[in-house]
Homo-oligomer: A and B are copies of this chain.
């Protein structure tokens, strides 16, 4: 039997458009396999909806559109691939009105009809996932009897989390059945998994290992098809694959782009061990960079923005965002605004201009000194004093934020926010100022990760990646001036981040424990961290919750990002 893996990039909620995308994949498959079409095309979880559809699942009209899209698929398939069945991710309404009303399901679409053939058993309801808000768990495994090439196949069907049942490989195992275990008795010939698994560092390797374990337990190959594309804060990296019954990877699809590939049950290739993903630091950086690029590109394109804008300060954060934006959209779609103040160093302005030149993006310079004086003059009578301290620093940031929004409004651009995770964590950022933007591109990167990613970008290891992105004209991209500059917000004379914060080498590991392990200050002190540092950082961290609540969507690349998967009260202890 021949199976096509269709790694598609849907637009969330666009049922008709996504059906069209799936049919385009089918047409491509038809052309690529003339005469010997595959028996089955497998697409990702909820491929008709795009994942995650969130509360669009509560919309009666979208459910109606799903019915129409399934008919559209069926009719289109009759023309494109009349002998082929298409496995498509969709939702199935339950017959009663109790809440939740849906199953996360898969339908087998054929030229003459379609029917639901699988329902998800394990519903992730943690981090960014809210599946129990919408879905009921299926209470039994799904097996599909499928005839191909005159043979009867028993296909085990699982959806995403159904495969995540190995305590040793994952941080948390969902309570509930073991869908793989329950398929052992069903004697399946092949296991399919329709996934929408977002990018995370080292996650590709975990997916391989989970599939390999399932293959070994069921003694059959596993076909894993993952969604690709950025949807708001989530980046789905694709990387679909097939593992043989031995656990070896037989087929590997690319990450971070749409792709189609074929697996043949009778021609097995040699394969690689499932855990031999390239786990070098360079490969890790490349994956991270590609995920961020995909996140920006899809957010802009799916929201309909032709161009993006960012404030370029000469510091490393905005430099990295400029590189990502350029890689994502092309230099002609990116504009940088330089907004020097009396506290900006000459170096910063020069560095920002030199970087823009290397990237080929246009720049506009708008000095803010006049507006700083304007606000001081306007506010002094009201405050009985000139704005001072943090108020004055915030004012500069908010003047810049307002200028950025004015330019973006007038020119119809997407404003990219350039703050990093360390800043968001301790509130070293200004709400309605530098936090402004439609998307926080590096808001899930600690400052130390920003440094290491930039160092990688300027290293020989990144040459291949930069070549693909057309960013190879200069030896340096970020450049030593920016890389080696001590971090500073430049909001007062000679200010440096280290005036207010511990070194990032001290700060970031503390933050990581506070955020990813929900550790307490007491635990961190017990673990040997400096007590004064810990107390100060923990207080800053807790107090900044109100800022994070109003932050733009943050591209999620870590296990625990700020955003929809971070749900803390503001008024609390």
Interface residue A390 (Cβ < 8 Å from any Cβ of B):
yes
Residue A318 interfacial (CB < 8 Å): no
A28-36, A107-115, A501-509, A561-569 - interface stretch: A561-569
Given contacts A99-B175, A100-B126, contact A382 B337 (CB under 8 A): yes
Determine how close the nearest CB of chain B comes to the CB of A335; give it in whole angstroms.
10
With both beta carbons as reference points, the residue of chain B lying nearest to A549 in the complex is identified as B553
Contact A130 B403, CB 8 Å, known A378-B366, A549-B553: no
Q: How many copies altogether?
A: 2
Contacts of A567 in B (CB 8 A): 54-55, 130, 133, 564
Q: Say yes or no: is A375 at the interface (Cβ < 8 Å to chain B).
A: yes
Of the candidate stretches A267-275, A282-290, A518-526, the one touching chain B is A518-526
Most buried by B among A382, A395, A407: A382
B405 near A394: Cβ-Cβ < 8 Å: yes
Q: Which of A4-33 contact B (CB under 8 A)?
A: 11-14, 17
Taking a contact as CB atoms under 8 Å apart, the answer to whether B523 and A60 are in contact is yes
CB atoms of A232 and B368 under 8 A apart: no
Contact B13 A569 (CB under 8 A): yes
Q: Is the CB of A570 within 8 A of B518?
A: no
A185 part of interface (Cβ distance < 8 Å): no
1/0 contact string of A229-270 vs chain B (CB within 8 Å): 011100000000000000000000000000000000000000
Shortest A551–chain B CB gap in Å is 7
Within 8 A of B (CB), among A519-573: 519-520, 522-523, 546, 549-553, 564, 566-573
Q: Which of B368, B382, B399 contacts A402 (CB 8 A)?
A: B399
- Please, which residues of chain B bring their CB within 8 A of the CB of A410? 383, 385, 387-388, 391
Contact call A551/B550, Cβ cutoff below 8 A: yes
A71 in contact (CB, < 8 A): no
Interface segment out of the listed A218-226, A296-304, A352-360: A296-304
- Is there an interface contact between B136 and A126, defined as CB atoms closer than 8 Å? no
Chain B residues within an 8 Å CB radius of A140: none
Expressed in whole angstroms, the minimum distance between the Cβ of A531 and any Cβ of chain B is 16
Binary B-proximity of A32-73 (CB < 8 A = 1, otherwise 0): 000000000000000000101111101111000000000000
Beta-carbon contact of A378 and B403 below 8 Å: yes
Known interface pairs A370-B378, A568-B56. Does A172 touch B98 (Cβ–Cβ under 8 Å)? yes
CA of A569 to CA of B438 in the docked complex: distance in angstroms? Answer: 13
Q: Are the CB atoms of A61 and B522 closer together than 8 Å?
A: yes
In the complex, A347→B302 CA distance in Å? Answer: 45
A104 near B: Cβ within 8 Å? no
Q: How far is the CB of A29 from chain B (nearest CB, A)?
A: 25
Q: A98-B175, A518-B59 are in contact. Are A394 and B409 (CB under 8 A)?
A: yes
CA distance A409 to B391 in the complex (A): 6
Pairwise interchain contact B391-A571, C-beta atoms closer than 8 A: no
**Residues in chain B near residue A406, CB distance under 8 A:** 375, 379, 383, 387, 391, 394-395, 398
Which residue of the partner chain, among B136, B401, B436, contacts A175 with CB atoms under 8 Å? B136
Asked whether any CB of chain B lies closer than 8 Å to the CB of A173, the reply is yes
User: Is there an interface contact between B409 and A402, defined as CB atoms closer than 8 Å?
Assistant: no
- Interface residues in A72-101 by Cβ distance below 8 A to B read 97-100
Q: Which residue of B lies closest to A388 (CB)?
A: B410
Contact of A99 among B174, B232, B382 (CB under 8 A): B174
A:333-379 near B, CB below 8 Å: 337, 364-368, 370-371, 374-375, 377-379
A153 contacts partner chain B, Cβ-Cβ < 8 Å: no
- Point out the residues of chain B lying under 8 angstroms from A448, CB to CB: none
Which of chain B's residues have a CB closer than 8 A to the CB of A53?
A: 569, 572
CB within 8 Å for A172 and B99 given contacts A56-B568, A379-B407, A520-B59: yes
**CB of A411 to closest CB in B, whole Å:** 8
Which residues of A from 186 to 201 have beta carbons under 8 Å from B? none
- In the complex, whether A496 has a CB less than 8 A from a CB of chain B is no
The contact of A432 among B125, B130, B385, B401, by CB within 8 Å, is B401
Is A132 an interface residue, CB under 8 A from the partner? yes
Contacts of A172 in B (CB 8 A): 97-99
Complex Cα distance, B271 from A257, in Å, reads: 68
Cross-chain pairs A/B with CB under 8 angstroms, 29 sampled: A11-B573, A12-B571, A12-B572, A12-B573, A53-B569, A56-B568, A59-B518, A60-B520, A60-B523, A61-B522, A99-B173, A99-B175, A133-B567, A231-B572, A232-B570, A298-B571, A299-B571, A366-B378, A371-B375, A371-B378, A375-B402, A382-B403, A387-B406, A399-B402, A405-B431, A432-B436, A549-B553, A550-B550, A550-B552
Nearest 6 interchain pairs by C-beta: A61-B520, A302-B571, A132-B132, A14-B573, A374-B374, A12-B572
